[in-house]
Structure 1
Amino acid sequence: MFFGAKLFLIHVGEASKDKIDMLSIILKGFEKDNLDYEVVFKTGDPVNVILSTSERKKIDLLILGAVQRERFVKYYVGSIARKITRQAKCSILLLIKPSVERISCQHIVVNGLKDPKTEQTITTAFYVAKQLNASKITIVEEINQDQVSVKVDDDKSLRRATIMKERIKLRENSRIKEIISHIPEAYTENKTVKLQPIFGRKGYSIGHYAQIMRADLLVMNAPTKMTFWDRLFPHDIEHILTELPTDVLILQ
């Protein structure tokens, strides 16, 4: 409704009158909004069914329910939501606390890391904020601690490290402000925007920040490629998938 898009409901399994009737009852409440939708029934492996249907129907965004944290063993096997996230060619919205009654989105956190995809990700975050009437956006610039290559063992080295960190923060803030200047004013008006540089591990730092700030939505770049080794030695998006801090939108 918020994005004026067609909704596809993918049901893994055979169609039946009971299932169709149940879906009709659920969707009846949206008739007044003129919701355009289509129900797809298909048997098979849930991951394969959802991925193949998404490609066949040219779906732009997959919305999936996901548990907030998985057990150690299950993490390596991967839940259905996480398997789909790692393989999907479209954007993914992971919901950890879906509710029947809509809870309004107020605060969106988006990654501002230096990457070719980041400008489009930040622009999309502002677009989503406008459509959902979210009032606050925080852009988190995750900075690798290795960029401050100073061993702190006395007051002089501490001052040098502090000055170096401040210079990096100013540089990163300048880069993000340049990106924001390219975003249509219709998306940025009436929004409280905060720039938040953080020194730490990519993925883990922004996830932890979104959690402690109780953000309603975390917006991230999709990874270029994920392999078994990425899951064995988690980094970037894998830190987010290990323990979802809030609802997460991963943009292709």
Structure 2
Amino acid sequence: MFNKIALAVAFSPTLEALICESKRLKDIFNSELLLIHVGEKSPELENILQQLLIKHGLKGNKIKTIWEKGNPAKKIIQTCKEENVDLLVAGALKTEGFFKYYIGTIARKIIRKSNCSVLMLVDPLEKPTPFDKVVINGTQQEQTHFVISKGLEWCKMDQAKQIYVVNEIKMYGFQMATAAEGGEEEVSNTRRKLVSEEVTYVENILKTIDKGDLKINIKITCGKWAVELARFAVDFKADLLIVGDEGKLGFLDRLFPHDLEDILNDLPCNLLIVKK
């Protein structure tokens, strides 16, 4: 699934945990591991990194470290492209005084402009564990089949135990369908019909995918998809949320909030953004 994984190295307090998490993924996918640091290279920093790699058994021809100078986002994106990276791993930040994780400016640029998939880890562990509880975005979008397919491929390799594909009733469709005067029973019937249609949409995708032994649940929500998806991930206590890329953002997207931003503003859990 991922032949080459890169870790964005920032020498933060979570560096060792991020290295351990990256090693876990490297072992699962049998990947090469690339470490990228944008900033000054000093003997002290080089020694810190080397000691951590040795400590966690990360020495050999499938490990490579690149030191760069310049704009962090641009250099990371450029390096990932030049090195044919499939997955970039980075840490999210917790706001001071609040149990809330957010994506900074550099990470946002990487998510938007990188060619590879991106995994944001909100609470990396030095003794990492599998992502047992996974939520996959099944909202009707151009890339939904790809997102579900790649999400389930990840779940099989990581042996996830509980999986939900979350779709939504389109609010405008529900409002239009119930706009005419009608009783409570008519509204309820309309809602059941719309829910059934969204379940069928996901089921038809699942029929085309090799699911192995995975047991997959379908959840239908009603509201703005990104908000409801994040809310469900919190309620479910998910270990990982998998979504697709919104593609290249146009001028209007930069002026007005877009759906993915609702998730990036307050991460509900670890976030994997899969890109083709």
TM-score class, shorter-chain normalisation, is 0.7 to 0.9
Cα distance change on mapping 1:57 and 1:88 into 2, 3 Å: same
Matched, 1:221 2:244: yes
For residues 32 and 7 of structure 1, the distance between their equivalents in structure 2, rounded to whole angstroms, comes to: 9
Quick check: 2:112–2:247 contact (8 Å CA) kept in 1?
no
Q: Which residue type is aligned with residue 106 of structure 1?
A: D
After the TM superposition, list the runs of 4 or more consecutive aligned residues in structure 1 that deviate by more than 4 angstroms: 32-35
Counterpart position of 2:212: 188
1:221-246 Cα distance to aligned partner (Å, 9 max, x none):
10023246435532321111111111
Of the three residues 217, 221, 228, the one matched with 1:205 is 228
Partner of 1:5: 31
Please say if residues 231 and 238 of structure 1, whose CA atoms lie closer than 8 Å, have aligned partners that are also in contact. no
Report the alpha carbon displacement of residue 205 of structure 1 after superposing the two structures with TM.
0.9
**Cα gap change, 1:32 to 1:58, in 2 (>3 Å):** closer
- Please say which of residues 144-153 and 37-46 is displaced more in the overlay: 144-153
2:67 match: 41
- Cα 1:29–1:126 shift into 2, 3 Å: farther
- Using structure 2 for the length normalisation, give the TM-score: 0.80
**CA deviation vs aligned residue, 1:52-79 (integer Å, no higher than 9, x gap):** 1111111111111112569xxxxxx952
Asked if the contact 1:202–1:235 (Cα under 8 Å) also holds between the matched residues in 2, the reply is no
Contact 2:168–2:198 (8 Å) recurs in 1: no
Contact 2:240 2:270 in 1 (8 A): yes
Distance in 1, Cα, partners of 2:134 & 2:250: 29
- Of the structure 1 ranges 19-28 and 48-57, higher mean CA displacement relative to structure 2 is found in 19-28
Residue equivalent to 2:106: 80
| CA distance in 2 between partners of 1:113 and 1:42 (Å) | 38
Worse-superposed segment, 197-206 or 173-182? 173-182
Report the TM-score, using the length of structure 1 for normalisation: 0.87
Alignment of 1:121-132 (within 5 A): 121-132=147-158
- Aligned pairs for 1:54-93 within 5 A: 54-68=80-94, 78-93=104-119
**How far does the alpha carbon of each residue in 1:80-105 deviate from its partner, in whole angstroms, 9 at most, with x for none?**
21221122121111111112111331
> Partners in 1 of 2:83 and 2:165 — Cα distance?
33
> What residue is the counterpart of 2:138 in the other structure?
112
Cα distance in structure 1, aligned partners of 2:185 and 2:47:
68
Matched, 1:250 2:276: no
Distance 2:61 2:232 in 1: 35
Paired residues in the alignment total 241
Q: Residue in 2 aligned with 1:74?
A: none
| 1:193-241 CA-partner distances (Å, limit 9, x unpaired) | 1100111002111011111211000000100232464355323211111
Partner in structure 2 of residue 73 of structure 1: none
Determine the C-alpha separation between the residues in 2 that align with 1:31 and 1:82.
Answer: 31
Sort the Cα spacing of 1:46 and 1:33 in 2 relative to 1 into closer, same or farther, 3 A: closer
How many Å apart are 1:147 and its aligned residue?
Answer: 0.9
Gaps in structure 1 of 5+ consecutive residues:
71-76
Q: SS at the partner of 2:112?
A: helix
Distance 1:225 1:37 in 2: 31
Superimposed CA distance per residue, residues 16-39 of structure 1 (whole angstroms, 9 cap, x where no aligned partner):
332222222211244389782110
Give the secondary-structure state (helix, strand or coil) at the position aligned to 1:14. Answer: coil
SS of the counterpart of 2:93? coil
Runs of 5+ consecutive residues of structure 2 not aligned to the other structure? 1-26, 97-102
Change (3 A) 1:68 1:119: farther
Q: Does 1:99 align with 2:98?
A: no
Q: How far apart, CA to CA, are the structure 2 residues paired with 1:178 and 1:37?
A: 41
Name the CA distance, whole Å, in 1 between partners of 2:225 and 2:94: 19
Of the structure 1 ranges 22-31 and 193-202, higher mean CA displacement relative to structure 2 is found in 22-31
